[in-house]
Amino acid sequence: MKFQAKHFSWVMVGLALVSFGAQAAGFDVSGFMTQHADIIGGLALVGFAGEVAVNDPAAIKAALDKISDQVKEKGEEALAEAKKGHDLSQKAKETADELLVKFNGLQAELREVEQKAVSRNAEPPRVKSYGEQIVESEKYKSMMSNGGRGSFSLELKQVTSAAAGALIRPLYETEIVALPQRRFTVRDLLPVVPIATSSVDYPKQTTRTNNAATVAESAAKPYSDYAWSNATAPVRTIAHLAKLTRQAMDDAPRLIGEVDAEMRYGLRLVEEAQLLNGNGTGQNLSGIMTQATAYVAPITIAGATSLDMLRLAMLQAALALYPADGIVLSQQDWARIQLQKTTDGAYLFANPQGTVEARLWGLPVVDTPAMPVDAFLVGAFRFGATLYDRMGIEVLISTENADDFEKNLATMRAEERIALAVKRPGSFIAGDFGLVA
């Protein structure tokens, strides 16, 4: 159809020449031009269709030159008739009718050609098979012309990812694949109190000597002995830094969120270890395990299992007037307990196809990698210790650190400030199962 626009442009050139000549002679031929525009256009198209194939560019140019002459000639004849005041002859009318019929047929043919061209363009390129490459090779044709005698070698091309080049486009996935993270649970067992000071001072009872007794009339009453001391839980800072390039932040905005999440995770990782195992030296917290009461079985059970020991630890806490509300185990020890079976092979806790809440002896079980293997902690967490939040996790980015400005870098800082007060060490019972040498 792109050739059709050229046809009409040539027709319009011819019409313009005729119109210009008629107006110069003082004749008004606008009505004639309007009435017979389709005829003249049809004449040009028929002349074109009769002279050239649609897909022959050289012939198209020659036909267009011829059409231009024909349009000019017909326009001059029509102008001469108009000057004489004559109407279009009967023969001209018959020719016009014939041209209109051919014009309609030509349009149908052009539409068909256009549809075929579109169909051909829509076909995807096909890679030739090995057999087609052999049959179409010059070496094969030469051998066949020699009666099929002889032999030849031919390098066959195989389409690979390298050969395909730009046809193969990578899929860009925006999600960043991060390393695995462990879950944190010890904080959830403790009461958390926000504070606005650099330390927490609290009174702590150190002595209880209860001498209450029945007393005879007029006899001296016994004295009980109680003592308290001031204890301090200092606020400790957990922090770390990370470097980011300005280009990375501009080109991958999601990276900032990922680094933020990683740095928050790093703080929680250290916090979990400090809450359980901090030794209180330097800037370390005094953790629960280092202050807990050592496990001593309050009653003797022959051949006590891990389950027995946990129940006895609960009893020890209860006898100290601190009923336990939670158990902390390593993930390995919790799995070992879950896999215990009866003598007939059935699991003690549940069907493996189902889900079971992590509980033992009615208490929730927290399994965490921060707990050493073979160790256990049973206690009254809500009553025995308090976690103080001086500053929740804060993440900041700055380009004014060291030589960041010169190197187009940014420094991300993540930190938190917390304090832990183990107010009642007797409410925590810590021990080991004795299964690991």
Mind giving me the DSSP string for 326-371? EEEE-HHHHHHHHT-B-TTS-BSS--TTS----EETTEEEEE-TTS
Separation in Å, CA 56 to CA 87, 112, 118, 262, 292: 39, 17, 18, 67, 97
Mean pLDDT by 10 residues, the chain (437 residues): 43 44 43 47 46 49 55 61 60 57 54 58 55 66 64 51 49 55 73 93 85 94 91 94 85 76 89 94 94 94 92 96 94 91 82 77 90 95 94 89 88 93 93 81
Q: What gap in Å lies between CA 140 and CA 157, rounded to an integer?
A: 16
Please choose, from the candidates 326, 203, 184, the residue with its C-alpha nearest in 3D space to the C-alpha of residue 265: 184
Return the pLDDT at 181: 52
CB 327 within 8 A of CB 365: yes
Coil, helix or strand at residue 256: helix
Q: Which strands form 192-194's sheet, in the order they lie side by side?
A: 192-194, 385-398, 409-422, 236-245
∠ CA 237-241-243, nearest 5°, is 170
Q: What residues have CB less than 8 Å from 192, skipping those under 6 apart?
A: 386, 387, 388, 389
Hey, how many other C-beta atoms are within 10 angstroms of the C-beta on 309? 19
193 sits in which H/E element: strand 192-194
Helices and strands in the chain, H and E counts: 16, 12
Task: Please give the backbone phi and psi of residue 414, each rounded to the nearest 5 degrees, phi first.
Answer: -125, 135
Q: What residues have CB less than 8 Å from 341, skipping those under 6 apart?
A: 347, 348
Token couple for 106: 């030509």
Token couple for 189: 């067992």
Return the pLDDT at 327: 95
Return the pLDDT at 2: 43
Question: In sequence order, which ranges of 146-252 are alpha helices (DSSP H)?
Answer: 161-164, 186-189, 246-251
Return the pLDDT at 91: 61
CB 235 within 8 A of CB 388: yes
Separation in Å, CA 113 to CA 33, 102, 109, 118, 307: 30, 16, 6, 9, 87
Return the pLDDT at 22: 43
Return the pLDDT at 52: 45
Return the pLDDT at 206: 80
CB 148 within 8 A of CB 140: no
Per-residue b or e along 45-73, where b marks 16 or more CB atoms closer than 10 Å to that residue's CB: bbbbbeebeeeeeeebeebbebbbebbbe
Token couple for 375: 């160790």
86 sits in which H/E element: none
Amino acid in position 215: V
∠ CA 220-224-230, nearest 5°, is 150
Token couple for 107: 């349009």
Radius of gyration of the chain (CA): 49
pTM value > 0.75: no
Domains of the chain from N-terminus onward: 2-122 (no CATH), 133-173 (no CATH), 186-432 (3.30.2400.10)
Token couple for 275: 């809450």
CB 71 within 8 A of CB 16: no
Q: What gap in Å lies between CA 423 and CA 202, rounded to an integer?
A: 9
